[in-house]
Amino acid sequence: MPVKRTGFFIGLLVAVLFALLPFAGESYYIQLLTVIFYWIGLAACWNLMCGYTGYIDFGSAAYTGIGAYVAGIIMVRSGLPLLTTIPLAGLGAGVIALAVGWPTLRLRGAYFAIATFALAEALMQVAEEWTGLTEGGIGITIPQRLEEFDYYWLYLFLAALVVAITWWVEHHKHGYALKAIHEDEHAAAQVGINTHTIKLKTYVTSAFFIGMLGALEGSRLGYFKPDDVFDVHITIKMVIMSLLGGMGTVLGPVIGATFLQLIEDYLGAQFLNFYLVIIGAIIVCVIIFLPRGIVGSTIERLRLKFRRQP
């Protein structure tokens, strides 16, 4: 069996093992893992677009927010069951991603970073001000909730799915095209890659999954305000998790998200502001000293070590 496929099956096995874990009894770890899977899902979505193409989305929280609000408003207004609103939330996020990506992905990466950054801020303000639709700053209460274990399984499933998509992309023509765009977009276009379409497809896919995750998290919280689900710190965490693990690698976001979430579990609650100062310092150091992240730098070292002699 080729090495590629072995990796895939090991991953699948690990996911199945984690899926069986709740049968061993409820514990503190299930809750911690639920949150970790949520963040692996988000970081993997971010990595799928930004890690592979090099186009940086600084407003991914826009899609968790849209997801949470689309699902929440539909549930409140029409009483549709929670699980049917989740894909709708994904679609809502996907449509906005299409509208934002269409003009900006044609331009230099800087414009994309700027537009997405401003998008999240603007949407948060709209959610604050459009009180007729969103209840504004009073917040919205979600009438339905799943069982604790259901969130565990759904987050595990979505995270595994996005990582599997990333794996597929990595070993497929689509992934080569994305990497080519990252290296040199002009050259990629010259060898016949339709760079705009392929970036747009990836971006919309990533937003679709972020929207679904955001909708689920909204219902798990039960009650939220615009600045909870459009919070800039959601984006920050997605960026840092991918960056720490290694952007443009399959396992990078998995390792980065687990690592950061565990640190935050210990440090974050006590010193929120200092925590952010430290996170800022970590970003600066990673960029300067470890630009390929934990996984990326390790792979590079292994490759150098085991390179076949010519």
Partner 1 sequence: MSMLIIQSLINGILMGGIYALYSAGFSLIFGVMGVVNIAHGDLLMLGAFITFWMFIGLGLDPFLTLPFSVAGLFVLGYLMQRLAINRVVGAPPIMSYILTFGMHLMISNLALVAWTADPRAVTTAYSGANLAFLGLTLPWIKLITFLISLGVIGLLYWLLNHSQTGRAIQATAQDREMARLTGIKVDRIYALTFGLGAAITGLAGSMVVAFQDVEPGMGLPYTIIAFCVVVLGGMGYIPGALIGGLILGIVGSVSTMLFTSGWSIAITFFLLYLMLLFRPAGITGKGIVE
Distance CA(277)–CA(300), nearest Å, equals 29
Q: Name the strand (E) or helix (H) holding 76.
A: helix 61-78
Q: Please identify, using beta-carbon distances, which residue of 212 and 229 lies nearer to partner 1.
A: 229
Number of residues that bind partner 1 (CB under 8 A): 44
* Residues in 214-273 that interact with partner 1 by CB under 8 A: 232, 236, 239, 243, 273
Q: Which amino acid is at 270?
A: Q
* Contact between 128 and partner 1 per CB under 8 A: yes
Q: Is 58 in the site for partner 1 (CB under 8 A)?
A: yes
Q: Which residues of 160-189 are buried (b: 16+ CB within 10 A; e: fewer)?
A: bebbbbbbebbeeebbebbbbbbeebeebe
Quick check: 182 binds partner 1 (CB under 8 A)? yes
Under the criterion CB under 8 A, does residue 288 sit at the interface with partner 1? yes
In this chain, which stretch among 83-91, 107-115, 159-167, 212-220 interacts with partner 1, using CB under 8 A? 107-115
Helix/strand number for the chain, H first, E second: 16, 2
Query: Does 277 help bind partner 1 (rule: CB under 8 A)?
Result: yes
Q: Using DSSP, state whether 147 is helix, strand or coil.
A: coil
Which one of 279, 294, 295, 296 is in contact with partner 1 (CB under 8 A)?
A: 279
Tokens of residue 82, six digits: 């929670």
Q: Which is nearer to partner 1, 80 or 277 (CB)?
A: 277
Under rule CB under 8 A, residue 300 binds partner 1: no
> Residue 140 phi/psi, 5° resolution?
-125, 135
Find out whether 154 and 15 touch, Cβ atoms under 8 Å: no
Residues forming the site for partner 1 (CB under 8 A): 50, 54-56, 58, 100, 103-104, 107-111, 113-115, 117-119, 121-123, 125-126, 128-129, 182, 232, 236, 239, 243, 273-274, 276-277, 279-284, 287-288, 291
